[in-house]
Amino acid sequence: MRHLMSPLDFSVQELDKLMDIAEDIEKNQEKYAHMCDGKILATCFYEPSTRTRLSFESAMLHLGGQVLGFASADSSSAAKGESVSDTIRIISCYADICAMRHPKEGAPMVAASKSTIPVINAGDGGHQHPTQTLTDLMTIRSLKGQLNNMTIGLCGDLKFGRTVHSLINALKRYNGINFVFISPEELKIPDYIRSDILDKNNIPYKEVIKLEDVMPELDILYMTRVQRERFFNEEDYVRLKDFYILTKDKMELAKKDMMVLHPLPRVNEISVEVDEDPRAVYFKQVQYGMYIRMALILTLLELV
Ligand code: NCD
């Protein structure tokens, strides 16, 4: 039995296969409509979510399966003090697969160690968010045709943003990847990413503060929200929240085929006028997120 805790749990070949399945699902949805008949997905979300939880649920429903779960810690027995280890033992009796989001780093891993069904990490604190990364990889591969030889700018909250940490971790295995980290001083990538992932693998990167300075060199711009819920004080959040706002004017500095991704939700960091630009692909990214989660459920349930 396999779980998904980090994008590295799959080899590059396995990721390719997963994306191939997701592409096939996009083209032939009806072929997959009953593959999970009789199967149940549990979504255990101890932290707010719209996209991730609903896209897991929609993925399972599109496969013919059913869903149950809870959308906040308050509405589960966690509010009575039940541990994640106990909860997953219970869920294992009710469902065939579980997607779990938790504010504590490593909580889904603890659950996986006690679980008799596959557990998917749907985001753990500021740590990892592997299914968002699968979504991002699939978006880039589908729209750019490949995952090699690219300059990728990551902009915003690189300190607390788990989508950023997971994506860097996944992209380190591709060739010719060049990172540009765009953030205020206070929200730079954590040291462990710099030393354990980038330096260790000789991956070229630079860190800058101004987005305009690097816009012309980027093939991908990955915008992120400042992670308010992980700040220690509101003052810092308020000072930093509007540090970057991507506007039409800034888009004019970019390559004609640059693509803007965002894991969403967006707050102010991308002005709505940019939505009309064909290079803004964040809503398309959401669609890919459902297909790749369908492929993931089928793979972990060993149905493909
Ligand atoms: C992200 C997350 O939860 O980390 N959202 C998502 O799942 N698409 C990004 C965010 O909340 O900023």
According to the model, what pLDDT value does residue 29 have? 95
Domain range spanning residue 17?
A: 7-128+289-300
- Does residue 215 lie in a domain region? yes
146-174 confidence digits (pLDDT tens): 999 999 999 999 999 999 999 999 999 99
Q: Are residues 88 and 135 in the same domain?
A: no
According to the model, what pLDDT value does residue 188 have? 97
Q: Whose CA is nearest to atom 12 of ligand 1?
A: 225
Q: Does the structure show a pLDDT above 80 at 76?
A: no
- Does residue 1 lie in a domain region? no
- Does residue 42 lie in a domain region? yes
- Does residue 220 lie in a domain region? yes
Q: Is the CB of residue 133 below 6 angstroms from any atom belonging to ligand 1?
A: no
Percent of the chain at pLDDT exceeding 70? 100
DSSP for the chain reads ---BSSGGGS-HHHHHHHHHHHHHHHH-GGGGTTTTTT-EEEEEESS--SHHHHHHHHHHHHTT-EEEEESSGGGSGGGGT--HHHHHHHHHHH-SEEEEEESSTTHHHHHHHH-SS-EEEEEETTTB-HHHHHHHHHHHHHHHS-SSSEEEEEES-TTT-HHHHHHHHHHTTSTTEEEEEE--GGGPPPHHIIIIIIITTT--EEEES-HHHHGGG-SEEEE----GGG-S-HHHHHHHTTS--B-HHHHTTS-TT-EEE--S--SSSB-GGGGGSTTB-HHHHHHHHHHHHHHHHHHHTT--
Q: Are residues 140 and 79 in the same domain?
A: no
Q: Are residues 107 and 186 in the same domain?
A: no
21-57 confidence digits (pLDDT tens): 999 999 999 999 999 999 999 999 999 888 899 999 9
Q: Is the CB of residue 255 below 6 angstroms from any atom belonging to ligand 1?
A: no
Q: How far apart are CA 219 and CA 254, in angstroms?
A: 9
Q: Is the CB of residue 39 below 6 angstroms from any atom belonging to ligand 1?
A: no
User: What's the N-to-C CA distance of the chain in angstroms?
Assistant: 14
230 is catalytic: no
Query: Which among 129, 166, 227 is the best mutation to test ligand 1's pocket, defined by most ligand atoms within 8 Å of the CB?
Result: 129
Among residues 227, 228, 268, 214, which one has the least CA distance to residue 246? Answer: 268
- Does residue 2 lie in a domain region? no
293 is catalytic: no
Taking the CA atoms of the chain, what radius of gyration do you get in angstroms? Answer: 19
CATH of the domain at 93: 3.40.50.1370
Q: Are residues 113 and 250 in the same domain?
A: no
Q: Which residues contact 89 (CB under 8 A, 6 or more apart)?
A: 114, 115, 116
CA 55 to centroid of ligand 1, rounded, Å: 12
- Does residue 38 lie in a domain region? yes
Q: Are residues 135 and 276 in the same domain?
A: yes
Q: Does the structure show a pLDDT above 90 at 231?
A: no
What is the domain count for the chain? 2
According to the model, what pLDDT value does residue 205 have? 98
Q: Which residues contact 117 (CB under 8 A, 6 or more apart)?
A: 1, 91, 92, 95, 96, 97, 98
Q: Are residues 94 and 205 in the same domain?
A: no
How long is the chain?
Answer: 304
Q: Are residues 68 and 141 in the same domain?
A: no
Q: Does the structure show a pLDDT above 80 at 75?
A: no
pTM more than 0.75: yes
According to the model, what pLDDT value does residue 51 have? 83
Q: Are residues 176 and 233 in the same domain?
A: yes
Q: Are residues 189 and 276 in the same domain?
A: yes
Q: Are residues 166 and 236 in the same domain?
A: yes
Q: Are residues 117 and 183 in the same domain?
A: no
Q: How far apart are CA 301 and CA 200, in angstroms?
A: 34
According to the model, what pLDDT value does residue 263 have? 96
- Does residue 27 lie in a domain region? yes
Q: Are residues 83 and 198 in the same domain?
A: no
- Does residue 97 lie in a domain region? yes
According to the model, what pLDDT value does residue 50 have? 80
